[in-house]
Amino acid sequence: MKPRRTLRALLAVMLAVAATGCSALLPGSDDEAQSGPGGGDLVIGVAQPLTGPVADAGQSVAAGAKIAAEEINKAGGVDGRKIRLDVQDDANDPATCVNVAQKLVNQSQATAVMGGWGSSCTLAISPVTSRAQVPLLVETSSSDKVTDPKESGNDWTFRISPTSNMEAHATRDLLREEGVKKVFFLSVNNDFGLGAAKHYGELLTEAGVTNTGTAKFDQTAQSLSSQVTQAIGSGADTWVVTTDVAQIALLLKEAKGQNAKARIITTGGSNSPLQLLELAGESVAEGTYATTFFPFFDPSAAADPKGAAAFVAAWKAKGLNYGQITEGVRGYQGIKVIAEAMRAAKDPSDRTAVRDALTKVSTKGVVYGDIRFQNWQNLRNQTVPPVYLTRIDKGKVTLVGTGEPPY
């Protein structure tokens, strides 16, 4: 029996070592104090797609969030208590998002949650955090439904990113000045893409632009040949494309291969023109337009120019891909806003106190302009940021114009 006991003991040691060695590769909490509400570290849950088709975006948001937490803790934390992030992979899948949200509010006992990148995922998370009475800070999602009280909006959900409707309002006049006459929409088939097509379509139609149609595609689609053929056949002079940057690059390559002549405008903020240049190449990306919310082309244009420059420096110092900084800055700003609310709350670990403090936040953002939660049309707990329209010209990203609030 002794050899069997020895073998079991050796196996246990090997498993323990393997678990320790792999822990750094898995999502989860930072390796600091282990405490929920009431004392110790202040836990903020972060739900992002760390795997799947949009993993690059989610990983970048998480990286930005970690930079913010490091800065906050280095400066003394919140009332002397450190911020601890519990980063979980939601895969941008609504069912997984629900499970992740339940884990963060129940098991991790997060004081607040930031997430969950895609609109469909955020719409799945919001009821979970609302029922648990945990503040949800939305850093990316663009569907109106997220902060519309008649849809999924509630007193516990706050959004710093603009909606597709706001983006369309902010850029409508800029697009008209660019000579858009006939438009065709190419949209990922989810709340993100369909919402953009709806709102841009309505506003451009009101402005006298002819809407020639819409082509949809799945988030995992690896070929967009038929959709590009449909867009060319529509006779539109302009295509409005809404999806993640990898699919945008795929679509642009197909458009070049089919000798498309239309002006191409990408929307949603997850369409970094810098990353597009990397993925598609200069000859393919040349002349494309993109909406963005972070003035990476000139950080001095940010509401907090000093903070923007510091974030750019921190991102580069970590050796992170600069093309993904437009995603990373979302996570950075989200954690900074939550920390500010925690500082203003009587008890920074009390969920209700932090929720109440979020309603009073007013700060100059590194991204999203002047950040304060307000009403906009039918939306509540919503910031109203500037939107930048950029164009790739000879391999450089240039500013076409800025849609400033109010719009």
* pLDDT band at residue 15 under the 50/70/90 scheme: very low
* HSE of 381, CA atoms in CB hemisphere, 13 A: 23
Same domain (yes/no): 273, 394 = yes
Same domain (yes/no): 86, 181 = no
Model confidence pLDDT, tens digit, residues 297-350: 999 999 999 999 999 999 999 999 999 999 999 999 999 999 999 999 999 999
Q: How far apart are CA 58 and CA 62, in angstroms?
A: 6
Same domain (yes/no): 140, 183 = no
* HSE of 269, CA atoms in CB hemisphere, 13 A: 34
* pLDDT band at residue 386 under the 50/70/90 scheme: very high
Q: How far apart are CA 43 and CA 65, in angstroms?
A: 13
In this structure, are residues 135 and 125 in contact, taking their beta carbons and an 8 Å threshold? no
Same domain (yes/no): 95, 141 = yes
The percent of residues in the chain predicted with pLDDT above 90, rounded, is 89
* pLDDT band at residue 31 under the 50/70/90 scheme: very low
- Looking at the chain, the number of H-run helices and the number of E-run strands are 13, 17
In this structure, are residues 127 and 155 in contact, taking their beta carbons and an 8 Å threshold? no
Amino acid at 32: E
How many C-beta neighbours within 10 Å does residue 185 have?
Answer: 27
Amino acid at 154: N
Same domain (yes/no): 158, 169 = no
Q: How far apart are CA 127 and CA 121, in angstroms?
A: 11
Domain hosting 281: range is: 165-292+388-403
Same domain (yes/no): 234, 270 = yes
State phi, psi for 258 to the nearest 5 degrees: -95, 10
Same domain (yes/no): 189, 270 = yes
Environment class of residue 221 by beta-carbon count within 10 Å: exposed (0-12), middle (13-18) or buried (19+)? Answer: middle
Q: What is the pLDDT of residue 39?
A: 65
Widest Cα–Cα separation across the chain: 86
* HSE of 316, CA atoms in CB hemisphere, 13 A: 7
Same domain (yes/no): 91, 128 = yes
Same domain (yes/no): 42, 158 = yes
* pLDDT band at residue 269 under the 50/70/90 scheme: confident
Would the pTM of this model clear 0.85, i.e. be above it?
Answer: yes
DSSP state, 367? S
**What average pLDDT does range 168-178 have in this prediction?**
95
Residues in the chain: 407
**DSSP per-residue string spanning 138-183:** ESS---GGGG-TTTT--TTEEE-SPPHHHHHHHHHHHHHHTT--EE
Model confidence pLDDT, tens digit, residues 63-73: 999 999 999 99
Same domain (yes/no): 48, 150 = yes
Same domain (yes/no): 93, 208 = no
- Indicate whether 236 pLDDT > 90: yes
Q: What is the pLDDT of residue 19?
A: 36
**CATH code for the domain of 331:** 3.40.50.2300
